[in-house]
Amino acid sequence: MIRALFFAILCASTAVAQGLPSSPYSTAFLVNGVSVSHYDIEQATLMNQALTDDKNPRAEAEKMLINDILYLQEADRLDISVSEKEVRDGMAEYAGRSGQTDEEFLRLLGRSGVHPGTFRNFVRAGLAWRKVIARLYGEQASDISGSEVDDLVEYQPAQGVEQFDISEIALPATPELSARANEVAQQIIAYSTSASRFAEAAKRASVANSGPSGGKVGWMSLSRLPPTIHGTLRNTSTGSVSAPQQIDQHLYIFFVHNRREVTENVRPAVIEYAMLTVTGENPEAAAGAAGSIARRVSSCSDLGIEAQEWAEEDYRKYVVASNSEEYAQIPVETARLDNGEVAIRQDVPGRPNARLLIMLCDRIFVQDREVRTELRRRLLLANLEAYSSRHLATLKANSVIIRK
């Protein structure tokens, strides 16, 4: 008996000495005085592994647990509660996104070792946060004028649309680099007497994602490209290089391989997209972080959640009407993206250790004014998401996290 007791004490002492928890229910860290146990982290990690392909699921699990505590603490401060029925409905809604019932979803998680209570707590925290943002910012976010919706409504019947088979070269062209960019562009134009030469120049000089593949973009409709380059492409002969064209803070040159006209039903009245700038200790670290996020996200909601771990000013979401002045400023990368896809811009002016993720959220094709309700909903969600990111950043900045 004494020997067994001594052995138990020795094991516990060894665990402490090695930095291991003496109990899975012991505290791993505190968030504003609320304990998070090693068991909580293990469960959140298992759930994260079951639902995502995060490369570091434990780190992401800890972030999720911290966020959930802040969500619930803020809800408690505002005397906001979530009923058991709301939790059950929320679990069913979440499971339904993957075409499953909540029972089927819980069985799926159970096979990965996730306790039902872990998923239930996750849903409860998310619902509480939704109520918090609605309480604090619902009125401001809903302040959408009729003219804002009108600006998004545009009908265009079927028509012939020009398409161009193009390759591209993008050169950094911030104010301090503009002169050099124009000089390099002229050298490339003079050198690129054939498609193969243009491809060679793209591999050497282009900072666009297409650079390593020789700048090849393929067939693109003018309706999916910034209006500022429409005239440039139209004025470029087949088999030749375009004049340089400034887009955002880059100077673009295009090689036009071919052109044609096809029929498209409507042009998108609204483009919805988001951008997140990520940084690292060096360019390679930034590229790795950007690539990791790009692999994890499949919607702008996912990207918005990722953005909570970065500075507020590094994330923006846009809803832009095609008849607005802002339409010309839409990143050219969105033209090649489908909904939920990401492009990574390698060059962020003035920030060598940064990469820019650009995600297309949606293209909205409007054919009649019955879609006004849907457009208003999109604007409301974009407003609420912005308020949510800012409010969570404030809570994190004022929180006290103590690791044991």
Q: Give me the pLDDT at residue 140, please.
A: 83
pLDDT tens-digit profile of 195-248? Answer: 999 999 999 999 888 888 899 999 888 877 777 788 889 889 999 999 999 887
Residues of the chain predicted below pLDDT 50: 1-19, 154-158, 265, 368-369
Q: Give me the pLDDT at residue 65, please.
A: 95
Looking at residue 328, the DSSP 8-state letter turns out to be G
Could you tell me if 331 and 225 are in contact, meaning their C-beta atoms sit under 8 angstroms apart?
Answer: no
Residue 169 contacts by C-beta under 8 Å, 6 or more apart in sequence?
185, 188, 198, 201, 202, 205, 206, 208, 211, 215, 252, 253, 254
Residue with tokens 């004049």: 243
**Which pair of tokens denotes residue 11?**
């094991």
Domain with CATH 1.10.4030.10 in the chain: 27-141
Domain with CATH 3.10.50.40 in the chain: 159-264
H or E segment to which residue 246 belongs: strand 245-247
The total number of residues shown for the chain amounts to 404
SS3 of 134-188 = HHHHHHHHCCCCHHHHHHHCCCCCCEEEEEEEEEEEEEECCCCCHHHHHHHHHHH
Burial class (CB in 10 A: 0-12, 13-18, 19+), 319: buried
Strand partners, 250: 172, 247
- Calpha distance 123→96 (Å, rounded): 13
Q: What is the DSSP string of 249-273?
A: TEEEEEEEEEEEEEEES---SEEEE
Q: What is the CATH number of domain 27-141?
A: 1.10.4030.10
Per DSSP bridges, beta strands 240-241 and 250-264 are antiparallel
Q: Give me the pLDDT at residue 94, please.
A: 87
pTM, to two decimals: 0.51
Could you tell me if 169 and 260 are in contact, meaning their C-beta atoms sit under 8 angstroms apart?
Answer: no
Q: Give me the pLDDT at residue 263, please.
A: 56
Determine the distance from the C-alpha atom of residue 58 to the mean position of all C-alpha atoms in its chain, rounded to a whole number: 21
Q: Give me the pLDDT at residue 200, please.
A: 94
Could you tell me if 395 and 34 are in contact, meaning their C-beta atoms sit under 8 angstroms apart?
Answer: no
Q: Give me the pLDDT at residue 84, please.
A: 94
Q: Please tell me whether residue 362 adopts helix, strand or coil conformation.
A: strand
> How many CB atoms sit inside 10 A of residue 281's CB?
8
Determine the distance from the C-alpha atom of residue 402 to the mean position of all C-alpha atoms in its chain, rounded to a whole number: 30
Looking at residue 368, the DSSP 8-state letter turns out to be S
pLDDT tens-digit profile of 98-129? Answer: 778 888 889 989 999 999 999 999 999 999 99
Strand partners, 216: 167
Residue 169 dihedral angles phi and psi, to the nearest 5° = -135, 130
Q: Give me the pLDDT at residue 21, please.
A: 59
Residue 347 contacts by C-beta under 8 Å, 6 or more apart in sequence?
170, 172, 207, 250
Burial class (CB in 10 A: 0-12, 13-18, 19+), 217: buried
Q: What is the CATH number of domain 159-264?
A: 3.10.50.40
Looking at residue 298, the DSSP 8-state letter turns out to be S
Residue with tokens 């209570």: 117
The upper half-sphere exposure of residue 294, i.e. CA atoms within 13 Å in the direction of its Cβ, equals 20
Strand partners, 345: 356
**Which pair of tokens denotes residue 323?**
């008849």
Looking at residue 338, the DSSP 8-state letter turns out to be P
Q: Which amino acid is at 101?
A: T
